[in-house]
Structure 1
Amino acid sequence: MTSSPVSRFTVPAIAELPDDIRERILAVQQKSGFVPNVFLVLARRPDEFRAFFAYHDALMEKPGNLSKAEREMIVVATSGANQCQYCVVAHGAILRIRAKDPLIADQVAINYRKADITDRQKAMLDFAMKVALEAYAVGDAEIEALKSHGFTEEDAWDIAAIAAFFAMSNRLANVTSMRPNPEFYGLGRG
């Protein structure tokens, strides 16, 4: 396998980054054993890096009615629809780990309607996909469909915000030609 660049844009050296960003990257490396390429690519613009990860963490790490695995399902399904290789591979690994299921990420990325997930989760992903691909068409009927599966108004906001945030992330990853780290491919598979 040939080694491809992390991005089509210049990636800064970790040693040259502002202290807070360098410390965050090194903490992730300590925990996972590698530095996910998204950290390196976004670090070229420190203010945007900070804003991106602050919003990411606010959406993905908070308590609530959506499990962390369900939040990752939203990312994987919408990233697949947006043809974002980086996010499908990276968040697929996180989904496999959080769901403790080596098959779920591939199923959700390819066709969540046929995945081994609950009807509630399918309704969640139906809504997330509409937000990701046709946000202009979201109306009261979509919110009511979520409510019929036990989701609250706050859950609808969370689902929409995750889908919208990762639509932006997908576009940046595609424009930068961000490569998934090889380590992601095997995580959570067994």
Structure 2
Amino acid sequence: MAHIDLGLDEKQFPGIIGLMRYRPETAKPLNQLAEVLLRTPNSLPPGDRELIAAYVSGLNECEFCCASHSAFAAVQLEPGMALVDQVRADVDSAPVSAKLRALLHIAGAVQKSGRNVTTEMVEAARAEGATDVEIHDTVLIAAAFCMFNRYVDGLGSLPAQDPQDYFRAAERIVESGYTD
């Protein structure tokens, strides 16, 4: 049960979904941020951006966000959940591009502290073809998901009971986005 009374059935509205229904005035800008970071046209594909969100959420041990964004990444990446699981288990041996691996290293550093991102990490990402926009967005995705994870876990919201709920939500997100 959440730490506060959300006035709804938390099993029907797990994780951030219930929190956003509780405070729609804060939900709107949070969903707009997620839409821009994870879905708007960008040289980094949406599946890769969702993978960064899932990776950071996993590092933060946020069950709801990690499961959600793992599903959202899986439905948008050719290898699906197998790739997501490999990245979450060991970024260095996962079958991703060198550029994405470098960006995931940056995201992992941000998860610990923004100050853990080094010039060497940024230069390594650039050397693998990452643009400044991709580096910027990776840092912002990682920072935003630290916030989202703390929001969900700080209010004690429950994860979904049925793992398939995450994949049903993924289909909606891919089709309609975060703001619809």
Report the counterpart of residue 24 of structure 1 in structure 2: none
What is aligned with 1:41? 19
**Percent identity of equivalent pairs:** 24
User: Could you tell me which residue of structure 1 aligns to residue 3 of structure 2?
Assistant: 8
Please report how far the alpha carbon of residue 146 of structure 1 lies from its aligned counterpart in structure 2 after TM superposition: 1.2
Q: Given the alignment, which residue of 138, 142, 146 partners 1:163?
A: 142
Partner Cα distance (1:136, 1:87) in 2 = 24
**Alignment: residue pair count:** 164
Q: Which amino acid aligns with 1:43?
A: R
Give the CA RMSD over aligned residues. Answer: 2.2
Find the counterpart in structure 2 of residue 152 from structure 1: 131
* TM-score computed with the length of structure 2 as normaliser: 0.81
* Off by >3 Å, runs of 4+ in structure 1: 34-37, 184-188
Partner SS, residue 91 of structure 1: helix
CA contact under 8 A between 1:84 and 1:174: conserved in structure 2?
Answer: yes
SS at match of 2:40: coil
Structure 1 residues 113 and 68 mapped into 2: Cα distance closer, same or farther (>3 Å)? same
TM-score by length of 1: 0.77
1:36 Cα deviation from its structure 2 partner:
5.9
Q: CA deviation at 1:46?
A: 2.2
Residue segments in structure 1 that go unaligned for 5+ positions in a row: 15-33
Cα distance between partner residues in 1 of 2:85 and 2:156: 21
Note the C-alpha offset of 1:95.
1.1
Matches of 2:24 and 2:30, distance apart in 1: 10
Which deviations, in whole Å up to 9, do the C-alpha atoms of 1:58-79 show, x marking residues without a partner? 1111111111111011111111
Residue 11 of structure 1 contacts residue 44 of structure 1 at CA under 8 Å; is this kept in 2? yes
Aligned match of 2:33: 55
Residue segments in structure 2 that go unaligned for 5+ positions in a row: 171-180
